[in-house]
Amino acid sequence: MSHPRDVIVIGLGGMGSAAACHLAARGHRVLGLERFGPAHNRGSSHGGSRMIRQSYFEDPGYVPLLLRSYDLFAKLERDTGRSIANLCGGVMVGRQDSQAVAGSLRSARQWDLSHEMLDAAEVRRRFPTLTPADDEVALYEERAGFVRPEATVTAHVQLAQRAGAELRFEEPVTRWEVLPGGRGVRVHTSDDVYTAGHLVVCPGAWAPRLLADLGVGFAVERQVMYWFHPLGGTAAFTPEHHPVYIWEDADGAQFYGFPAIEGPEGGVKAAFFRKGSLCDPETIDRTVSEAEAAAMAAHLRTRVPELPGRLRKAVTCMYTTTPDEHFVLARHPEHPDAVTVACGFSGHGFKFVPVVGEILADLALDGTTEHPIDLFDPLREPLKAPHRQFATPEGETTP
């Protein structure tokens, strides 16, 4: 059966906008459907900055994807003339055996990535705003830094449209189905019904709704980003002087932060990495309590003492976490001919956005990709296990 469109992409956030861009660039007829506007702030791809790094402590298997992602971020900047990435350098701080330090070192060694090991005194000397304890060390990576999420999404949207993709915003998908015999898909929205040869689903925190039949136990988590006015102003925090950082405590809890990239009045961002509470994207509480902000400030006070001056703002965001915190990126096991899925990015997906777009185009068009994605198999054993984390309604995450 021939369809008016080759591929429909559901969700035009980080991953879906990149998929639409790569599919359209390869000359295919693409329809993209998004429930909100372009580069909106109600999903997982907003907040001004996302960390990028290559010495990946989560698993060395991500490194080849990161190398490609860096190239594609640079290409995105060239193709659109937008400023998206800033490689200001980054430190992973913690005890020698922490995941942040030991895991990063493992990836750096395995892939021969440029890095330096710094003891606590050296960290304090080079980055005086950071005050690690004497038993803490850091892996410094020159090529770590940050990308701008809203600019990334806007750039992909712009390139997709330039290549002929039809992108429809403010048009939520209500359901999708595979046509008899697996010969394409039908997608129902608030406004219309569309058919296409193939479907790519990139639903972010709406994965439990749109991809329930994957059978993956996603935990959708409310996370908070905080911006503080540093006590002594932003001068010591500018990207010329200040790295991005992830800092792991002795109990395994991590927090992270960025340089001052919003100008002198914009505040400096920091957040806890995985300290979230379970939520639903339809009902998430987007107000941040004083107690939450006070807990963040207290945590920063002993480690980045200059940072928690006055709170400028606090904004919520969502992680969609899988039981093993690795992504789900594959042809849909139940509908391998008709549907490709990208979800469960578990709070660390943004640095992969461009390469995921490329992989989704490969999978949708060819059913296979040369990129290493075995780690993201939806049928892997750990996805059947219960979650490592259990979040209480009060917002405290217990192991």
Cβ-contact 397, 55 below 8 angstroms: no
User: Please, what is the minimum distance in Å from the beta carbon of residue 137 to ligand FAD?
Assistant: 22
Q: Six-digit token pair at 113?
A: 């990535």
Contact pick of 51, 199, 200, 329 for ligand FAD (by CB under 6 A): 51
| Residue 317 found at the interface with ligand FAD (CB under 6 A) | yes
| Residue 43 found at the interface with ligand FAD (CB under 6 A) | yes
Give alpha helix (H) positions in 173-258: 207-210
Return the residue nearest ligand FAD (CB atom).
Answer: 13
Which 182-211 positions form the footprint of ligand FAD (CB under 6 A)?
Answer: 202-204, 206, 210
CA end-to-end span of the chain: 51
| Residue 16 found at the interface with ligand FAD (CB under 6 A) | yes
| Residue 350 found at the interface with ligand FAD (CB under 6 A) | yes
Contacts of 113-121 with CB under 8 Å at 24 or more apart are 113/54, 113/55, 113/63, 113/141, 113/143, 114/141, 114/142, 114/143, 115/55, 115/139, 115/140, 115/141, 115/142, 116/140, 118/91
Supply the DSSP string of 8-33, one letter for each residue: EEE--SHHHHHHHHHHHHTT--EEEE
Return the number of the residue (155 or 225) whose C-beta is nearest ligand FAD.
225
User: Please, what is the minimum distance in Å from the beta carbon of residue 121 to ligand FAD?
Assistant: 28
Pairing of strands 30-33, 166-168: parallel
User: Please, what is the minimum distance in Å from the beta carbon of residue 202 to ligand FAD?
Assistant: 5
| Residue 376 found at the interface with ligand FAD (CB under 6 A) | no
Give the integer Cα–Cα distance in Å for 231 and 285.
29
Return the number of the residue (129 or 223) whose C-beta is nearest ligand FAD.
223
Return the number of the residue (61 or 120) whose C-beta is nearest ligand FAD.
61
> Residues 116, 119, 125, 128: is their CA dihedral positive or negative?
positive
| Residue 225 found at the interface with ligand FAD (CB under 6 A) | yes
Return the number of the residue (187 or 365) whose C-beta is nearest ligand FAD.
187
Binding site for ligand FAD (CB under 6 A): 10-16, 33-36, 43-45, 47, 50-51, 172-173, 202-204, 206, 210, 223, 225, 271, 317-319, 345, 347-351
